[in-house]
Amino acid sequence: MSNEAVLHAPAEAGLHLDAHGDDHHEHHHHETFISKYVFSQDHKMIAKQFLITGMVWAVLGGLMSVLFRLQLGYPDSTFPFLQDLLGKWAEGGKITPEAYYALVTTHGTVLVFFVLTAGLSGTFANFLIPLQIGARDMASPFMNMLSYWFFFAASIVMLSSLFVETGPFSGGWTAYPPLSALGDASPGSKTGMDLWLISMALFVVSSLLGGLNYIATVLNMRTKGMSMTRLPLTIWALFFTAVLGVLSFPVLFSGFILLIFDRNFGTSFYLSDIFINGVGALPNEGGSAILYQHLFWFLGHPEVYIILLPAMGMVSEILSVNSRKPIFGYMAMIGSLFAIAILAFLVWAHHMFVTGLNPFLGSVFVLLTLLIAVPSAIKVFNWLTTLWRGNIRFTPGMMFSIGFVSLFISGGLTGIWLGNSALDIHLHDTYFVIAHFHIVMGVASMFGMFAGIYHWFPKMYGRFLNNTMGYIHFWVTLAGAYLIFWPMHYQGLAGMPRRYYDYSAWESFKQFTELNRFISTVAMIVFAVQLLFLFNFFYSIFKGRKVTTTNPWGANTLEWTTPINPGHGNWVGEIPEVHRWAYDYGKDGKEFIVQTKAVGADESHH
Amino acid sequence: MSNSTAHEEHAGGGSKEIIKVTVILTVLTIVELILGFWMIDIPLSSTGVRMAIKGTIVILMMAKAFYIVAYFMHLKHEIKNLIMTICVPLALFVWFIAAFLYDGNSFRNLRNTYDPHYKEQSTIKVEKKEHGKDEKHGEQHQDSHKEKKAAE
Amino acid sequence: MATTATAPITKSWSGGKSPFNVEYGKLMMWYFLMSDAFTFGAFLISYGTIRFSTNGWPDPNAVFKSFPFAPEGANAPLVFVSVMTFILIISSVTMVLAVQAGHNMDKKKVTTNLIWTIIGGIAFLSCQAWEWNHLHHEGAWWGSNPFLNADGTASSTNFTNYFFTITGFHGFHVFSGVIINIIMLIMTLTDQFEKRGHYLMIEKAGLYWHFVDLVWVFVFTCFYLI
């Protein structure tokens, strides 16, 4: 059928397929260093580019948190090395308030968007989607490459904003106007904010290019027999992540365009009744700052699920593989992912209960918000029942997956507190919120990412990560995460507000001096352990234990049917056909049955 | 790709349909314009009638959108699954619009209740003079208002 | 769970082909347009929100009441904008005809219809340029609004702010649509599609063009009618 030819043209034609020859696919088409490592169109290389760029940002963002924790833990001390590092931003070895706010803001922006969006779903959507659905590459490898390079450009612009004279943006990662709209409001709201907006606009383009590609690939490019209900849960999660991004990032984009006009062209979309000390009343009238918050959180809330869903998907897969049991409630897992994806769009204003949002509208948002507990609980119970009586192999990837479940429960439960508009009057903008979202979204997703890296590293580089370092990494990070963020709940309940520079000036918060110091100390230790992980990562790329079999974990999914170091095009010869779902573990006395194995005549149904 | 399969694939198109849809779109637009002209003569005070006309225009707008998407963009002749994957996400607009507009309206009520100056300001009629004059006038008022606020 | 079902693979969702029977490019174009619909949706909804949170709003009929070569002080509301609307609808029709001709591999008809579409797009952009210029001469721009509210009270600048931002963003889309259509025309004339054996690219360009028309339906209603 001629139509078929057209439909499959992109997969076949774009790749100069090397359908023959057992080894050395590289020899078939000439690859230069540039086309293989820099402007590569191979989804696996693009995934690695996303991963390593994300790691660079994770180090920078993590370092920033260490620096501002230094200020919070030791508000009265000076550290001369800080002046060497930050120059005028740490005059006399003490971080200035402006620098403190810039660090907090950049830490948030970088971790949320660059590490946990691009670094997480950019890496694993690129890496896993074609491999697990049985495709040679993404639907459009070229757009995929563009997606990375737009992210790279966004990174460069954001990085350059750190070096402008007035400093990077310092009004919080949410960039609420009027602080973000008026250059006169603070030093960081001048050039730093313009660069921040440019960087974010580039980032939106990158995530749209990526997201459209992921959706089209998952829908159109599945191999023969790979029906939607045979997909591994990773793919479902990454698919919903892409849908969330495609539908919510444009709204942020619009919000940013209006903000750019407010900053530069004298409009007042978000501005009204502004009086600036030394400048006087501004002519900007008639706007509404709440409007920006609505637009921002229309993305902002789906964004936390953009961060969380890929981790959920990978954890589901890793838990099942390493428990040697089918995932419990496969359809319920898909259904709850779907429910979360829908609800993600309906609950944004729960970030705005105390902004002057209409209280009745707020109550509707409370209801919708608390509904998220249902699919979340389904997922948690399904993970636990997958583990239940499993033949568990405690690989580092598995440890991080179990850690993810633990953190998701701990952080998710406080979400039920914060979802209540009445409680939120007391808790909003306190350390309780910091603790909540760092555990449930920040650390949990980092754990999902680590789990993914440990689990799929053999597929990425043909070598294993070092297990001993992996276990040290896991235990210190898990203990550290709880030691850092658990106490913050108490601080928050006691009313300690977030984003303050120095709490020692308040009588009521003096009691937390020791606790703050403790948190800061743990934060530094945890940061140091991440450096150990980085060492492990780069050391193992070159010196790690070699993978000797194609399927080291005994997993069912398609990526383990490729050669140990797959070339561009993934499979040598035909793309395998799929005959069963991805979770036939421990079936009929067999430890695992790969998806490509035909269903036997005497096989039991489940 | 041969012509015959191309035809089969896109069954339901055809020039007749294009002409029909063009006529429908034209008629809908003309009806919208008639309503628009009618509304010019209706005084501001009769809010009900104006709202009813605006509502009708919005419905006509949706009808136009339907014809463009269904026939010009050919969605009606695609597979049902594709139609669903495109139409279902658009349902998000319902809550998107409802929540935003509701809160916008609430913001106005709050301001009118707790900011008497703002309310008073919006009842003062500006005499129709040359362009730009009225702006200045408003600004002076706002200035004094802001100073008062800042002093509080 | 029927995941290990042994039934023969016949259903459209079971892999090996597109479940929608469309190539990936068209699918991506559709989803791109959906995300773009959210961009425009966000703009128009913000406009609505601000309008709902403001006491009073200018009467569009008192603002958009002139047309090119009109006598000084002409009072002809809705006339010029209806011309613009029809230009865009007609250009959409010619685009449909171009897509249809593409399915029939009729290069000549594709070319003529594309040319008409491009002319329509340029005509629309010219109209918009004239209107912007005219309003600018009246003192309207981002951050300055010479018009009064319908009830005679002072109006906030957000009327003009939104007008210029949203029609500008739409105009930008029309502009890129014209560029895309010109590229399509060049590719048609250089026989690129003949060599490929199909005109599917034109179909995607057509989707984009119709979307631009679709957005105008909403912009036209929100700014000129209600």
Per-residue pLDDT reduced to its tens digit, B39-58: 888 888 888 999 999 999 99
Residues of B contacting chain A (CB within 8 angstroms): 1-2, 5, 9, 89, 92, 95-96, 99-100, 102-104, 106-107, 110, 138-139, 142-143, 145-147, 149-150
Distance from CA of A220 to the nearest CA of C (A): 4
Pair (B106, B70) in one structural domain: no
The structural domain count of chain B equals 2
Tens-place pLDDT, residues A435-494: 999 999 999 999 999 999 999 999 999 999 999 999 999 999 999 999 999 999 999 999
Topology at the third CATH level for domain A42-592: Cytochrome C Oxidase; Chain A (1.20.210)
Local confidence band at A199 (pLDDT 50, 70, 90 cut-offs): very high
Instruction: Report helix, strand or coil for C157.
Output: coil
Pair (B55, B125) in one structural domain: no
Look at residues C64, C183, C83, C34 and name the one whose alpha carbon lies nearest to residue C131: C64
Q: Which helix (H) or strand (E) segment is A314 a member of?
A: helix A289-323
Tell me how far CA of residue B25 lies from CA of A291, B72, C214, C222, in angstroms.
34, 11, 11, 17
pLDDT of the residue at A32 = 83
pLDDT at residue A26 is higher than 80: no
Q: What are the domain boundaries of chain A?
A: 42-592
d(CA A432, CA A89): 29
Q: Which helix (H) or strand (E) segment is A585 a member of?
A: strand A585-587
Using a CB-CB distance cutoff of 8 angstroms, which residues of chain A are in contact with residue C13? 227-228
Nearest 5°: the CA angle A290, C166, A170 is 40
Q: List the single range of A156-160, A206-210, C178-182, C198-202 with lowest mean pLDDT.
A: C198-202
Pair (B69, B8) in one structural domain: yes
Tens-place pLDDT, residues A519-573: 999 999 999 999 999 999 999 999 999 999 999 999 999 999 999 999 988 999 8
Pair (B66, B108) in one structural domain: no
Specify the DSSP class assigned to residue A440: I
Topology at the third CATH level for domain C24-65+76-225: Four Helix Bundle (Hemerythrin (Met), subunit A) (1.20.120)
**Contact indicator for A47, A152 with CB cutoff of 8 Å:** no
Pair (B84, B111) in one structural domain: no
pLDDT of the residue at A29 = 59
B68 interfaces chain C, CB cutoff of 8 Å: yes
Q: How many CA atoms lie within 13 A of A385 on its CB side?
A: 13
Instruction: Report helix, strand or coil for C161.
Output: helix
Identity of the amino acid at A599: V
**Contact indicator for A226, C42 with CB cutoff of 8 Å:** no
pLDDT at residue A434 is higher than 80: yes
What percent of chain A has pLDDT above 90? 84
Task: Kindly provide the ipTM of the predicted complex, given to two decimals.
Answer: 0.93
**Contact indicator for A544, A464 with CB cutoff of 8 Å:** yes
d(CA C30, CA C24): 10
> φ and ψ at C116, to 5 degrees?
-60, -40
Distance of CA B105 to the CA centre of its chain: 16
A134: left (phi over 0), alpha (psi -120 to 50) or beta: left
Using a CB-CB distance cutoff of 8 angstroms, which residues of chain A are in contact with residue C166? none
Tens-place pLDDT, residues B92-148: 999 999 999 999 999 999 999 998 888 888 888 887 554 444 444 444 444 444 444
d(CA B31, CA A202): 43
d(CA A344, CA A346): 6
d(CA A521, CA A127): 36
A290 interfaces chain B, CB cutoff of 8 Å: yes
Q: Which residues are CB-neighbours of A364 under 8 A, at least 6 positions away?
A: B99
Q: Which residues of A209-235 are buried (b: 16+ CB within 10 A; e: fewer)?
A: bbbbbbbbbbbbbbbbbbbbbbbbbbb
d(CA A51, CA A36): 16
pTM (predicted TM-score): 0.91
The boundaries of the domain holding residue B63 are 1-90
Q: List the single range of A119-123, A246-250, B118-122 with lowest mean pLDDT.
A: B118-122
- The DSSP string of A31-53 is --HIIIIIS---HHHHHHHHHHH
Pair (B76, B8) in one structural domain: yes
Pair (B105, B57) in one structural domain: no
Q: Which residues pair with A112 in a beta bridge?
A: none
Q: Which residues are CB-neighbours of B22 under 8 A, at least 6 positions away?
A: C89, C90, C93
Which two three-digit tokens encode residue C185?
A: 């025309």
Q: Which helix (H) or strand (E) segment is C113 a member of?
A: helix C107-137
Tell me how far CA of residue B123 lies from CA of A176, A489, C50, C76, in angstroms.
31, 49, 18, 28
Q: Which residues are CB-neighbours of C189 under 8 A, at least 6 positions away?
A: C111
Write the residue in A285, A346, A358 that is nearest to B95 by C-beta: A346
Q: List the single range of A43-47, A365-369, A522-526, B84-88 with lowest mean pLDDT.
A: B84-88
Which two three-digit tokens encode residue C193?
A: 């599609």
Specify the DSSP class assigned to residue A464: P
pLDDT at residue A388 is higher than 80: yes
**Contact indicator for A325, A248 with CB cutoff of 8 Å:** no
Mean pLDDT of C90-104: 93
Using a CB-CB distance cutoff of 8 angstroms, which residues of chain C are in contact with residue A146? none
List the helix and strand counts (H, then E) for chain C.
7, 0
Distance from CA of B151 to the nearest CA of C (A): 24
Mean pLDDT of A257-275: 92
Look at residues C207, C202, C105, C203 and name the one whose alpha carbon lies nearest to residue B1: C105
Q: What are the domain boundaries of chain C?
A: 24-65+76-225
Last residue of a domain, which of B59, B90, B121? Answer: B90
Last residue of a domain, which of B67, B90, B113? Answer: B90
**Contact indicator for A168, A60 with CB cutoff of 8 Å:** no
Tens-place pLDDT, residues B61-94: 999 999 999 999 988 888 888 999 999 999 999 9
Distance from CA of B71 to the nearest CA of A (A): 22
Does the distance separating the beta carbons of B6 and C226 come in below 8 Å?
A: no
**Contact indicator for A202, C22 with CB cutoff of 8 Å:** no
Last residue of a domain, which of B62, B90, B118? Answer: B90
Interface of C with B in 139-158 (CB under 8 A): 139, 144-146, 148, 150-154
Write the residue in B7, B37, B78 that is nearest to C78 by C-beta: B37
Pair (B83, B96) in one structural domain: no
